Amino acid sequence: MPVTGEYEPSPSARVRKHVEEMEATGEPANTPLGLPIVVMTFQSRHPGKVHKTAVMKVEHDGAYALVASKGGAPQHPSWYHALIRHPEIDLQDGTEKHALRIREIHGEERAQWWDRAVDAYPPYAEYQTKTDREIPVLLGEPIQA
């Protein structure tokens, strides 16, 4: 089931550009370190609003890790709270689109996905050293029709 509502673009010009390029071509330019990203579409915390944001691609066997790093800031990114409240998202990986259900992972499962995330985007390791919070890892798994 696609996420629906009025699209409210990101205040970040970089995020807006990545979203626009991904939707138009499936291959946005100038991503961090030239590494692949995915775009997630999700319900805002505000009723009837939909947001889109780009995150680093961390995929394994059809599941995707969404790392709520915010560059090592002391607080979680706003999308983290929205996904906890509304755990069904649409995710675009290249030209493919997926409906996913999100859950926060912990313990051994988180450790395994954290290692995958750091392999996919090494700066995550540095981000963790910059903050006292444990950076959340959310796992998006396909919604079975």
Model confidence at 145, pLDDT cuts 50, 70, 90, reads low
Measured CA to CA in angstroms, residue 97 lies from 15, 83, 142 at distances of 18, 18, 11
The pTM for the full model equals 0.94
Instruction: Give me 103's structure tokens.
Output: 């859950």
Q: What is the residue extent of each domain of the chain?
A: 6-142
Position 46 scores a pLDDT of: 80
Model confidence at 91, pLDDT cuts 50, 70, 90, reads very high
| Pairwise pLDDT comparison (104 vs 44), residue with the higher score | 104
Position 90 scores a pLDDT of: 97
**Residue % of the chain over a pLDDT of 70:** 99
> Is a pLDDT exceeding 70 seen at residue 55?
yes
Measured CA to CA in angstroms, residue 109 lies from 22, 68, 75, 112 at distances of 29, 16, 22, 5
Measured CA to CA in angstroms, residue 30 lies from 17, 22, 27, 53, 135 at distances of 10, 12, 10, 15, 25
CATH assignment, 6-142: 2.30.110.10
| Pairwise pLDDT comparison (121 vs 32), residue with the higher score | 121
